[in-house]
Amino acid sequence: MSSTTPADPGAPVIAVTGTSGRVGGRVARRLAEHGAAVRLVGRNPEGPAGAGKARIGSYGDEEGMRRACDGVGTLFLVSGHEDPGRVREHQIALDSAVAAGVERVVYLSFLGAAPEATFTFARDHWYTEEYIRASSLRYTFLRDSLYQAGIAAMAGADGVIRGPAGQGRVSAVAHDDVADAAVAVLLGEGHDSATYDITGPSAITLAEAAEELSRFAGRTVTYVPESHAEALESRASFGAPEWEVTGWVSSYEAIASGELAVVSDAVARLAGRPAQSFAEYLRARPEAYAQLRS
C-alpha cells in the first residue's frame, strides 16, 4: 500500500511509543504506509500525517497512559530511557494499558535479556518481560542487538574505539531492520508468546568494525581494548552518574562475554529480506560516521 492509503476506520488501533526516536518513528511511518490506524504516544509525538496523537509526561504518567491507550488494541512499547526507575515506569505503562482495554503488547526488549546479564541495562528488559508474562496481555518480545549506528558512534573524533570488549563479537543490527521486523509482527498473526532475537546477519569484533569504518571514512580507525578500570577512568570526564557509566562500560563487557554474539535469521523471516551487514549500513548511512570526517 502507498503512504496515501487511508486507515480503515474500523481497524484496531495500534499505539506506537517512542515515535521521536529511531525505531518508533520508523514503525509509525511504515504502519501508516500499510493503512493501519496509528496513535502516536509520547512527550512530543512525531509521526505521519493523519495519525492520532496522545501526549504523556512519561511512562509513569498513569492517567496519561490510560487515556493514550483508550480504544487501542495493540501497544508497541519502546523501552524508556535508561534510568534507575525504568522498570517501574514500564510497569505503570503496562498497567495503564491493561486498564484501558489493550489486549496485546509488542515490547522492544534487548538481546540476552536476563536477571544477571552482563549489560546492566539488559536486566531491566528481563524484569519488564517477566511483568508482561504475568499480565493478561498477549505479547511478543523483540530482543534487538546493539544498533549499528551505536557501533559507528563508538569511534571518537580521534578515530579510536575504546572499551573492554576484548575479541568478543556483536551481531549489531540496523534500525530499519528492527522497524521492519516490528511492523511484520504488529500487522501479522501467529506471534503471540514469541520471542525474536533481532540481529544483523553476522557478528563482528570491534576491531573488524574499526576496519570497516576506516574503509568508508577514508582514514584509519582503530580499536583499543581497555580494562574495566581504564574504561571507567576514560569516561569519568563525562560527569555521568555511576549507574549510567556502569551501563556504558558493561555494554562492551557484554560483547567480550559473548552474550551479544547471537546471530538470528528473524529479520529475514519476518521482514522477508536479509538483514543489513555493518558494511551495507555504512554505505547507506554516511552520516553515521560523520564525526570521523570532520
pLDDT in tens, 71-116: 999 999 999 999 999 999 999 999 999 999 999 999 999 999 999 9
Tell me, yes or no, whether 161 lies in a domain: no
Tell me, yes or no, whether 134 lies in a domain: yes
pLDDT of residue 50: 85
CATH number of 87's domain: 3.40.50.720
Is the per-residue pLDDT at 185 higher than 60? yes
Following CA atoms 189, 192, 195, 200 in sequence, which dihedral angle do they give, to the nearest 10 degrees?
A: 10
- Number of domains present in the structure of the chain: 1
Residue 99: domain span: 13-145+173-199+263-275
pLDDT in tens, 118-128: 999 999 999 99
**Within 10 Å of residue 52's Cβ, how many Cβ atoms?**
17
Tell me, yes or no, whether 210 lies in a domain: no
Tell me, yes or no, whether 185 lies in a domain: yes
Tell me, yes or no, whether 215 lies in a domain: no
Tell me, yes or no, whether 121 lies in a domain: yes
56 residue type, one letter: I
pLDDT of residue 1: 34
Tell me, yes or no, whether 47 lies in a domain: yes
The average pLDDT across 170-196 equals: 98
Place of cell 491493561: 98
pLDDT of residue 11: 74
Residues 168 and 96: their CA atoms lie apart, in Å, by 40
Tell me, yes or no, whether 250 lies in a domain: no
pTM: 0.95
Structure-block grid coordinates of residue 30: 511504515
Q: Name which of 206, 185, 202 is nearest 194 in CA terms.
A: 185
Place of cell 509526561: 57
pLDDT band at 46 (very low <50, low <70, confident <90, very high): confident
pLDDT in tens, 257-279: 999 999 999 999 999 999 999 99
